[in-house]
Amino acid sequence: MPETSLQAPVIDTVERAAETPDREQPYGALGLKDDEYARIREILGRRPTSGELAMYSVMWSEHCSYKSSKVWLRQFGQKVSPAMKKNLMVGMGENAGVIDIGEGWAVTFKIESHNHPSYVEPFQGAATGVGGIVRDIISMGARPVGVMDALRFGAVDSPDTARVVHGVVSGISFYGNCLGLPNIGGETWFDPVYQSNPLVNALAVGVLRHEDLHLANARGVGNKVVLFGARTGGDGIGGASILASDTFSEGGPTKRPAVQVGDPFAEKVLIECCLELFRQGLVEGIQDLGAAGISCATAELASNGDGGMAIDLDQVLLRDPSLTAEEILMSESQERMMAIVRPEKLDGFLALTEKWDVETSVLGEVTDTGRLRITWHGQLIVDVDPRTVAVDSPVYERPISRPAWIDAVNADTAAALPRPEDGDELREQVLRLLGSPNLADKSWITDQYDRYVLGNTALSYPDDAGMIRVDEASGLGFAIATDANGRYCYLDPYQGAQLALAESYRNVAVTGATPAAVSDCLNFGSPENPEVMWQFSQAVTGLADGCLALEVPVTGGNVSLYNQTGDQPIHPTPVVAVLGVIDDVARRIPSGWQDEGHNLYLLGTTSLELDGSAWAGVVHDHLGGRPPAVDLEREKDLAALLAAAASESLLGSAHDLADGGLAQALAESALRFGVGARMWLGELCERDAIDAATALFSESTGRVLVSVPREDDVRFVGLCEGRGYPVLRIGVTDGSGPDAAIEVQDLFRIPLDELRVRWTATLPAHFA
Amino acid sequence: MRIGVITFPGSLDDRDAARGIRIAGAEPVPLWHGDHDLQGVDALVLPGGFSYGDYLRCGAIAAHSPIMTEVIEAANSGMPVLGICNGFQMLTEAHLLPGGLIRNEAGAFVCRDQRLRVESTNTQWTSAFEEGEEIVIPLKNGEGGYIADTATIERLEGEGRVVFRYLGANPNGSINDIAGVANERGNVVGLMPHPEHAVEPGFGPDTAAAMRSGVDGLRFFQSVLQTVLA
């Protein structure tokens, strides 16, 4: 620790703390406020020892305690219908939520932020973000089977963006590839609002049989508490309290020592070791060590169990023997796990960790004292009720205030901006959008990730969602997508959050899967800013209302606050991950056209909704107005329609319409397999009373572009009409090869080669 | 027919290789790096991954695993041995194949559907292909640049021991676009691309016919079935 060293000349024992009530303690430097420190003294009836202070400071940090967000997050537990609980095996509050997907299988998934470390040290920050979320999955008893990430970077042409992009992408590539987990998608955005505050949200999914589900708790008096995995070192100390819960300030001291360092090989071995421990029934529960390290693991295990635990800190295997007790309690060294083991199974446990060359030490045991007691050099340095550390942390009802600027921003609609009218101008703008950083091809990034390993990847980037087969015999699988649009959320955080949910939901539905559960990663500025807190409260309420309307439960996630530099917060960015289930991945719907002569249908209707759109941003550098309307009942109908069409195998392809509107969906559908199309927009413009530019660039929701083989035409149209969903034929797929093109009748023709060059050139031009 | 797949700490594509063997009609036998026992298998696969985290050099530590004593003995007495990616790196480190693999020229890990030309069908792992045939096999590696001294390259080329060559842009800077090589007897083959990821329709590389339908990798395992059973 810098200036305010915790190293006391003599060990700060419980006894000494009681005798020296007036000793000054560096709680401010550890991120605790005056009233929080007073509360700790009140709980203990004395001043905390330096070890206790270390524990409380990390566990009561914003990152670990959710003290500013808790009051709003409760809605996810309150706005729940019976249908949402039906397949929910484990809800929020555990390491990760678990969903029953049928046939005795369950899926667990979670998305989590690693934003601040990824700015300070992009490579290690992103790498350990992957490592941390994967350990959450393992601790549920599941085998991790896939990862994806939602990334936000600064302006594409800023020199510092290249530093962060290279570090983050190679960190994810290094760690995920080495773990042997396919990276099946995600998203990448560039916007100056993330310049000094990139977002790295890592998602992992695991699968397990119902009977293999394990919860991390310390039950059974006399059971052993065992630490295994990597040794404990000086990395990541105070990461939770100082890094994740503080705002970056210009010219402040470098925070690099607080970023953890990852070793994916150690984690890969740890995965296999944990799965074998579970399989052989050698453990009662396993808790991963993430933020707040041993402090968090011991306090949470004890709180979730019988309440008591006795730990001898001298038993912790160290990488650096000079570490103090406080540093050991706070260290966030990676690739460590804590297990609860019955005494009679300890020998078996140790034999198995030895087989995998995983270092192990027994730290103590579960007690019935209701106290978490930790000794160091034979002296008692921590004696607390673990619930006061892990559960009953402070709860703040932060002031909220609707920003004064929002009315003016909402009034500034993009509908007033000049729209192109002739074919040449439309053609030029289609290409400009396609090559813009947020819509351009991301394979420069995704080609650095292994998408094949494990052999079950049924869909991955550039498909709308990733898809993984779970059961090799039946073909049962899941699809998953993440989405967030910070521009929409800036205009209206309530609706913006619902738009993210609707898009993610639709991205899963277009694969033919049925959406089943949600995990979210809520990235916002400082909660001490009432306007940010208003954005947060609106977004959470929008998301909770939206999940209730769609009847998909939120199973867990993460909140990342203080994403701002100085006074400038990021756009509110609630990243929403939706997971869906599909009975047989063989019936999944491709995202692009594969065959000539299929009819192209547009599902849904289009209105003049260009506010916050990619078109407004790219062509006019404009952000104002009100985001597109969301109709969640319609989204539900659309998902059901797609699932029905998929189960009858009526669709050649399906592609969601979102950023960039129809123009982007056409280009991506064509480029996926190199098949062109002839389009006509006349009927669409007439039916919806819009101009061609609106037809191409509007971001109205509830729309999907599908291709249908001619022989299935009648059945497909009948299916749509029977369900009352608007459907209109707008084109037909054409040939492939060098002459392939997208031709929009009376307006323009763009050869696929030209489209491809524009789409693929942008990222390599900036980063390769 | 039984084909062993060796798991080293950090192996990743071991279960995928076993799946490919099963689909081809043989029985996969999991083998553990720490044992001195090949369990009487008829052929061996050293799978891809990051054994020992690629510490020191890729494949260098695994090449000294206990089981490698038996692997080297079996290879020298003619047993078919296939090294895929990290397995190829191990085979060069164990001197069962010449040359070595270095960091990709562009510096970054690359994952892509890779076109290859089959240059030799005179090995136990390629007899089911046509010479000169174009196939597509997923490639995914960070250190796949094949290098050897000029004399070795000339010898490999002269003796027809370059088994696969990259088509299109060279993905990693390999000399002469070399993707895979064989030993003199043709029983030991190593390559960087991953045949076990092109064995099952729906989960392989894209083809002109349908999404993810490529199964060119299956013929590696069918080749060894033919040659061993012959």
- Residue A261: pLDDT over 90: no
CA A679/CA A672 separation, integer angstroms: 18
Mean pLDDT score of chain A: 92
CA B6/CA B37 separation, integer angstroms: 11
* pLDDT at site A260: 67
DSSP A664: H
CA A576/CA A508 separation, integer angstroms: 12
Tens digits of residue pLDDT in A617-626: 999 999 999 9
Q: Which residues of B touch A586 (CB under 8 A)?
A: 202
Tens digits of residue pLDDT in A328-382: 998 888 899 999 999 999 999 999 999 999 999 999 999 999 999 999 999 999 9
CA B182/CA B195 separation, integer angstroms: 16
- Residue A219: pLDDT over 90: no
- Element at A160 (helix H, strand E): helix A159-179
Smallest CA-to-CA distance from B83 within B94, B159, B73 is with B94
Q: Please compute the mean of the pLDDT values over residues A467-472 and round it to a whole number.
A: 98
- Residue A757: pLDDT over 80: yes
How many CB pairs below 8 A link A and B? 86
Q: Please compute the mean of the pLDDT values over residues B181-200 and round it to a whole number.
A: 98
**Is A620 assigned a catalytic role?**
no
- Element at A14 (helix H, strand E): helix A14-19
Residues A119 and A161 sit within 8 Å (Cβ to Cβ): no
Please tell me which residue of chain A has the smallest CA distance to B106. Answer: A768
Q: Which residues of A touch B197 (CB under 8 A)?
A: 452, 455
Smallest CA-to-CA distance from A372 within A460, A443, A313, A319 is with A313
- Residue A254: pLDDT over 60: no
Q: Please compute the mean of the pLDDT values over residues A568-578 and round it to a whole number.
A: 97
- A638's CB contacts (< 8 A; 6+ apart) are A506, A509, A603, A604, A702, A704, A725
CA A175/CA B146 separation, integer angstroms: 24
A412 burial type by CB count under 10 A (0-12 exposed, 13-18 middle, 19+ buried): middle
* B32 vs A: CB within 8 A: no
* B56 vs A: CB within 8 A: no
- In angstroms, the separation between the Cα of residue B161 and the nearest Cα of chain A is 28
Tens digits of residue pLDDT in A128-172: 999 999 999 999 999 999 999 999 999 999 989 999 999 999 999
Q: For residue B109, count other CB atoms closer than 10 A to its CB.
A: 23
- Residue A3: pLDDT over 70: no
Beta bridge partners, A457, equal A468
* pLDDT at site A511: 97
CATH of region A590-768, choose from 3.90.550.10, 1.10.1510.10, 3.10.20.90, 3.90.650.10: 3.90.650.10
**What confidence category does residue A420 fall into, taking pLDDT thresholds of 50, 70 and 90?**
very high
* pLDDT at site A91: 84
Could you check whether A1-67+215-392 and A95-207+453-588 share the same CATH topology? no
User: Tokens in use for A275?
Assistant: 């799965």
CA A274/CA A264 separation, integer angstroms: 15
Tens digits of residue pLDDT in A714-755: 999 999 999 999 999 999 999 888 999 999 999 999 999 999
Inter-chain CB proximity A452 and B111 less than 8 Å: yes
Inter-chain CB proximity A673 and B206 less than 8 Å: yes
Task: Give the C-alpha distances (Å, rounded to integers) separating B130 from B134, B164, B227.
Answer: 9, 12, 15
When comparing pLDDT for A8 and A510, which is higher? Answer: A510
Inter-chain CB proximity A265 and B212 less than 8 Å: no
Tens digits of residue pLDDT in B39-87: 999 999 999 999 998 888 899 999 999 999 999 999 999 999 999 999 9
Smallest CA-to-CA distance from B18 within B203, B207, B195 is with B195
* pLDDT at site A305: 86
* pLDDT at site A152: 97
- Residue B196: pLDDT over 60: yes
- Residue A8: pLDDT over 50: no
> Residue-wise over A705-735: b if at least 16 C-beta within 10 A, else e?
bbbbbeebeeebbebbeeeebbbbebbbbbe
The separation between the first and the last C-alpha atoms of chain A, rounded to the nearest angstrom, is 38
Beta bridge partners, A206, equal A108, A144
Tens digits of residue pLDDT in A56-94: 998 998 988 999 999 999 999 999 999 999 999 988 777
Residues A687 and A644 sit within 8 Å (Cβ to Cβ): no
* pLDDT at site A242: 41
Smallest CA-to-CA distance from B152 within B129, B175, B136 is with B175
**Residue A224 CA to its chain's centroid (Å):** 34
CATH of region A95-207+453-588, choose from 3.20.20.70, 3.40.50.2300, 3.30.1330.10, 3.40.50.300: 3.30.1330.10
User: Tokens in use for B111?
Assistant: 């994952």
- Residue A241: pLDDT over 60: no
- Domain residue spans in chain A? 1-67+215-392, 95-207+453-588, 590-768
Q: Please compute the mean of the pLDDT values over residues A556-574 and round it to a whole number.
A: 93
Inter-chain CB proximity A448 and B54 less than 8 Å: no
The separation between the first and the last C-alpha atoms of chain B, rounded to the nearest angstrom, is 12
Residues A331 and A323 sit within 8 Å (Cβ to Cβ): yes
Sequential DSSP letters for A76-120: HHHS--HHHHTTEEE-TTSSSEEEEEETTEEEEEEEEE-HHHHHH
Please tell me which residue of chain B has the smallest CA distance to A178. Answer: B50
Comparing CB atoms, the residue among A452, A469, A586 nearest residue B140 is A452
* pLDDT at site B229: 77
* pLDDT at site A487: 98
- Residue A1: pLDDT over 60: no
Helix (H, G, I), strand (E, B) or coil at A483: strand
Please tell me which residue of chain B has the smallest CA distance to A356. Answer: B9
B225 backbone dihedrals φ, ψ, rounded to 5°: -60, -50
* pLDDT at site A585: 97
**What confidence category does residue A258 fall into, taking pLDDT thresholds of 50, 70 and 90?**
low
Q: Which residues of A touch B58 (CB under 8 A)?
A: none
CATH of region A1-67+215-392, choose from 3.90.650.10, 3.40.50.2300, 3.40.50.300, 3.50.50.60: 3.90.650.10
- Crossing angle of helices A530-550 and A493-509, in 10° steps, is 40
The residues of B annotated as belonging to the active site are 85, 194, 196
ipTM given for this complex: 0.96
Q: Please compute the mean of the pLDDT values over residues B190-211 and round it to a whole number.
A: 95
- State chain B's maximal CA–CA distance in angstroms: 45
Inter-chain CB proximity A269 and B112 less than 8 Å: no
- A322's CB contacts (< 8 A; 6+ apart) are none
Residues A96 and A109 sit within 8 Å (Cβ to Cβ): yes
- Residue A592: pLDDT over 80: yes
Smallest CA-to-CA distance from B45 within B223, B225, B221 is with B221
Inter-chain CB proximity A356 and B210 less than 8 Å: no
User: Tokens in use for A337?
Assistant: 């796990």
* pLDDT at site A170: 95
- Residue A322: pLDDT over 70: yes
Strands (E), chain B: 2-7, 27-32, 43-46, 81-84, 100-102, 110-118, 134-141, 145-147, 162-166, 178-182, 188-191
Residues B71 and B6 sit within 8 Å (Cβ to Cβ): yes
User: Tokens in use for A294?
Assistant: 């041993």
